[in-house]
């Protein structure tokens, strides 16, 4: 059995999904040494989330990530949905946003873009690294 690797970091983010990778991007942008631990050995290229909402589009645009995702997106998602087989209309047009529509982008593509950015900014992403416990030491 090999010795565990010792990594010096300021923040550990558990999970390389959209939320964890966005946090890693923001932390590294602020100069914080960041380590992302992900239990999966590789990114799963299956549709878990099929689109991004207007506010998510705004945030991705603020960081320069929306353009490449939108050009690769299949299409704008028709607004609305359903609940209990009943149609639920959703009109995003009145919202004060440059992107008043959902966009069809698979979650794995968003994760890929966020991970590339986080790593480019200095984050480290370790896959096949499940967190089983967290134990404080003398420093917290």
Give the chain as a DSSP string: -PPPPP---SEEEE--SHHHHHHHHHHHHTT--EEEEESSSS---S-SS--B-HHHHHHHHHTT-HHHHHHH---BPPS-EEETTEEE----TTSSSS--S-B---HHHHHHHHHHHHHHTT-EEEES---------TT-
Whether 29 has a pLDDT exceeding 90, the answer reads yes
pLDDT band at 105 (very low <50, low <70, confident <90, very high): confident
Share of residues in the chain with pLDDT > 90 (%): 49
Cβ atoms of 131 and 39 within 8 Å: the answer is yes
Domains of the chain and CATH, by start: 1-48+107-140 (3.50.50.60), 50-105 (no CATH)
Burial group, residue 66, by CB count within 10 angstroms (0-12, 13-18, 19+): buried
pLDDT band at 21 (very low <50, low <70, confident <90, very high): very high
What is residue 115's predicted lDDT score, i.e. its pLDDT?
98
Share of residues in the chain with pLDDT > 70 (%): 85
Query: Residues 110-122: pLDDT tens digits?
Result: 999 999 999 999 9
Query: Residues 47-83: pLDDT tens digits?
Result: 777 788 888 999 999 999 998 888 755 455 555 666 6
20-29, 84-93, 94-103, 113-122: least confident range: 84-93
What is residue 79's predicted lDDT score, i.e. its pLDDT?
58
């Amino acid at each position: 059995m090999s010795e565990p690797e010792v990594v010096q970091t300021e923040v550990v983010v558990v999970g390389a999904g959209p939320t964890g990778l966005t946090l890693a991007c923001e932390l590294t942008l602020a100069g914080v040494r960041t380590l992302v631990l992900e239990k999966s050995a590789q990114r799963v290229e299956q549709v878990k989330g099929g689109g991004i909402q207007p506010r998510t589009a705004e945030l991705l645009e603020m960081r320069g990530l929306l353009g490449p995702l939108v050009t690769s997106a299949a299409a704008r998602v028709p607004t609305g949905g359903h609940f209990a087989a009943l149609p639920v209309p959703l009109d995003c047009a009145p919202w004060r946003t440059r992107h008043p529509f959902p966009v069809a982008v698979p979650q794995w593509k968003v994760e890929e873009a966020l991970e590339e950015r986080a790593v480019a900014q200095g984050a480290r992403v370790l896959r096949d690294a499940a967190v089983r416990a967290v134990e404080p030491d003398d420093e917290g």
